[in-house]
A and B are shown apart, each in its own frame.
Chain A
Amino acid sequence: MSLVYEGKVAWIFPDNFDVDLIVGVQHIKETNPEKFLPLTMKEYEPNFLEQVAKGDILVAGKNFGYGHPHFQGMAAMRKLGLWCILAESFAPAFFRSEIVSGMALLTVPGITERVKRFDRVRVEVEQGLVHNLNSGDVIKGVKPSSIILDLINNRGMIGFIKAELARDLGKGEGD
């Protein structure tokens, strides 16, 4: 498998960022992506939608996803083609729910100091490495476990569960 993500840094979020702010807390009951997608990051950067491209990378400080995260913020990012987040650390509940939704999340201590917005980065997920292609810097993150890699490879839990069920069947046991 080749889990490499390459793109420019689309945004750098501060510590303890509540992802509901991505579309605005007033819109977290909106379930139609067509309605909340245009609102993405509007409060922070009115031209965000024009500035991002498929494959871009999100960067965040400590405890990204703190609070009671609703799905809209990250669903909007995935609609835009952003599937990879590098953070100093992740809030545990957010980490689990986004990994199983197919996002590639990598914990990279020091990342917010070592990339700037719009830097081009290449992320080698299996190795836990981030290459800042603008500065030449190589930043070491935490290598994900094999289960997390399987989840990322399967783009989340649906494919992952199917693969696990097939594996259980192969073993002749239901576990």
Chain B
Amino acid sequence: MPAMTLTEKIIARTSGKPSVKPGETVWVVPDVFMMYDWPGISDRYAYLLKNRFNIERIPVADRTVIFIDHMCPPTGEHETEFHHGTRRWANEQGIKLFEGLGIGHQVAAELGFATPGAMIAHLDTHVQLLGAFGALTISLLADLLTALALGRFWIEVPATIRVELEGDFQYGVSGRDLIHKIIKDLGPDGGIGKVLEFVGDGARKMSIDSRMALLCQIMFCGAISGIFPADDKALTYLKNKTGKEFETVVSDPDATFFETIRYDLSLLEPHVVKPSSPGNACALKEVEDLEVQQGYLGSCASGRLEDIEIAARILKGKKIKPGFRLYVVPSSREVMVQAMESGALAALVDAGAFVSSPTCDFCYGKTQSLCAGERAVSTGTLNVPGRMGSIYSEIYQTSAAVVAATALTGKITDPRNYL
């Protein structure tokens, strides 16, 4: 058997082949199909499956899950009716539906859907964060319809870039800064069509939250996915969530990698992504002291306990700058309850933050709170014009720690000054 990377092993298993190599196109049968409801997508799928393909019940209903996390809470009766349509369809099809638990990608981790060596398909492009548990996650966008209709999807086997990490982050620096640094170094197309596999002592030292923040944004270096082979930390997380023991799957020692790149995490400094492209990453010091009117801490990328706790550490006992608007949205109900119990959310509310229950709505552009000429620091997934309001406003993507430090001063601020 030829030596394979972790990604190649997962594709080989799900394609029913003894081995695969980069460049070949194969059909794979994923272990889990995921989606959320969205007008023009989920309702169209339901219509097409039934009316164009005469599929009364999709062949993979028992392995399909749907989340209601956008348009939460509904802000009009049409949205409430739309969600009702989703619930009816899921019920008819026998598809598991999850709602009220938070942002689907985070909830999927908490429910233990991502397991070592699993293959997960989703229509969304940020689900790669589930690679934190050694699963390979692939974004299909509209092509999820093919997967639901046929129970399989095609993939060109990607080459793997091995990313060796050593050292540990300075306090106030995290996985979010690392992905911005990687985007800066590789460029928006440096990882095109590849999978980035993160290994080494530094990778093992990274928290699960930090790994997920990093992987959530992996597409912006061109990569199709990212993965951490499951280590003790990931296996313990899964054991705690599911009560089950899992075995890790790793790349063969003599597997072929496209290239190997290395980072010493102890040398990493805070990074941001400037407007108006997610590829526009730079060191924070390049934009330090730029005036900002709004901060958003949340999303599937960075609204986990680690993010909320470091923000609380920075803001505890202080007040955000008068006039500055800080929105904090935990990624899931579980995270929110933990942050309430730890006192972190109380500290943020006391400092002047507006705190919402978990929802995707502050990230994808439903909450249009920036006016022309304003700037925001955001842990959201995207910084394109109009994502948070006026197309004449600007979004600087960054870590939770930077958002919190910036909320204090009203200027882009290095969080290490406040820790």
Contact of B391 with A62 in the complex, beta carbons under 8 Å: no
Q: Contacts A92-B192, A93-B141, A97-B143 hold; do A16 and B279 have CB atoms under 8 A apart?
A: yes
Q: Is B386's beta carbon under 8 Å from chain A?
A: yes
Q: Is A35's beta carbon under 8 Å from chain B?
A: no
Q: Is A112's beta carbon under 8 Å from chain B?
A: no
| Chain B residues positioned under 8 Å from A96 (CB to CB) | 139-141, 143
**Mask of A1-29 contacts with B, CB within 8 angstroms, 1/0:** 00000000000000110101000011010
| Chain A residues positioned under 8 Å from B140 (CB to CB) | 96
- B48 CB to nearest A CB, Å: 7
Residues 167 to 209 of chain B near chain A (Cβ within 8 Å)? 188-189, 192-193
Residues 21 to 49 of chain B near chain A (Cβ within 8 Å)? 24-25, 27, 29, 40, 48
Contact of B149 with A16 in the complex, beta carbons under 8 Å: no
Complexed CA–CA distance, A2 and B152 (Å): 27
Q: Is A162's beta carbon under 8 Å from chain B?
A: yes
| Chain B residues positioned under 8 Å from A16 (CB to CB) | 188-189, 277, 279
Contact of B146 with A25 in the complex, beta carbons under 8 Å: no
Q: Is A136's beta carbon under 8 Å from chain B?
A: no
Contact of B279 among A66, A97, A164 (CB under 8 A): A66
Contact of B384 among A20, A164, A168, A174 (CB under 8 A): A20
Complexed CA–CA distance, A62 and B169 (Å): 33
| Chain B residues positioned under 8 Å from A175 (CB to CB) | 29, 59, 150-152
- B297 CB to nearest A CB, Å: 21
Q: Is A132's beta carbon under 8 Å from chain B?
A: no
Interface size range of chain B in the complex: 35 or more
**Mask of A146-162 contacts with B, CB within 8 angstroms, 1/0:** 11100000000110111
Q: Is A68's beta carbon under 8 Å from chain B?
A: yes
Residues 98 to 137 of chain B near chain A (Cβ within 8 Å)? 125
| Chain A residues positioned under 8 Å from B277 (CB to CB) | 16, 18, 66-67
Contact of B192 with A91 in the complex, beta carbons under 8 Å: yes
Q: Is B224's beta carbon under 8 Å from chain A?
A: yes
| Chain A residues positioned under 8 Å from B24 (CB to CB) | 145
Complexed CA–CA distance, A161 and B151 (Å): 11
Contact of A63 with B188 in the complex, beta carbons under 8 Å: yes
Q: Is A58's beta carbon under 8 Å from chain B?
A: no
Closest to A148 in B: B25
Contact of B219 with A93 in the complex, beta carbons under 8 Å: yes
Q: Contacts A68-B382, A93-B219, A165-B150 hold; do A157 and B52 have CB atoms under 8 A apart?
A: no
- A54 CB to nearest B CB, Å: 24
- B4 CB to nearest A CB, Å: 20
Complexed CA–CA distance, A16 and B183 (Å): 13
Complexed CA–CA distance, A89 and B190 (Å): 11
- A59 CB to nearest B CB, Å: 17
Closest to A101 in B: B142
Q: Contacts A63-B192, A148-B25 hold; do A168 and B150 have CB atoms under 8 A apart?
A: yes
| Chain B residues positioned under 8 Å from A165 (CB to CB) | 53, 149-150
Closest to A156 in B: B142
| Chain B residues positioned under 8 Å from A57 (CB to CB) | none
Contact of B391 with A26 in the complex, beta carbons under 8 Å: yes
Complexed CA–CA distance, A67 and B386 (Å): 14
Q: Contacts A16-B277, A97-B141, A158-B48 hold; do A31 and B391 have CB atoms under 8 A apart?
A: no
Q: Contacts A92-B193, A175-B151, A175-B152 hold; do A147 and B143 have CB atoms under 8 A apart?
A: no
| Chain A residues positioned under 8 Å from B278 (CB to CB) | 67-68
Of listed B25, B40, B59, B149, residue having the most chain A CB within 10 A: B149
Contact of B384 with A100 in the complex, beta carbons under 8 Å: no
| Chain B residues positioned under 8 Å from A101 (CB to CB) | 142
Contact of A157 among B29, B59, B142 (CB under 8 A): B142
Complexed CA–CA distance, A146 and B40 (Å): 29
| Chain A residues positioned under 8 Å from B151 (CB to CB) | 174-175
Contact of B152 with A97 in the complex, beta carbons under 8 Å: no
Contact of A157 with B145 in the complex, beta carbons under 8 Å: yes
Residues 47 to 65 of chain B near chain A (Cβ within 8 Å)? 48, 52-53, 59
Complexed CA–CA distance, A103 and B314 (Å): 50
Contact of B146 among A20, A66, A67, A157 (CB under 8 A): A157
Contact of B52 with A162 in the complex, beta carbons under 8 Å: yes
Of listed B59, B219, B223, residue having the most chain A CB within 10 A: B219
Offer 8 A-B interface pairs, CB within 8 angstroms, sorted by A: A25-B385, A62-B189, A67-B382, A67-B384, A89-B192, A93-B125, A101-B142, A174-B151
Q: Residues of A at under 8 Å CB distance from B?
A: 15-16, 18, 20, 25-26, 28, 31, 62-63, 66-68, 89, 91-93, 96-97, 100-101, 145-148, 157-158, 160-162, 164-165, 168, 174-175
Please provide the 5 A-B residue pairs with the shortest distance between their CB atoms, ordered closest to farther.
A63-B189, A145-B25, A97-B141, A100-B143, A147-B154
Question: Told that A26-B391, A96-B139 touch, could you supply 8 new A-B pairs with CB distance under 8 A?
Answer: A15-B189, A16-B189, A68-B382, A92-B192, A100-B143, A161-B53, A161-B149, A174-B59
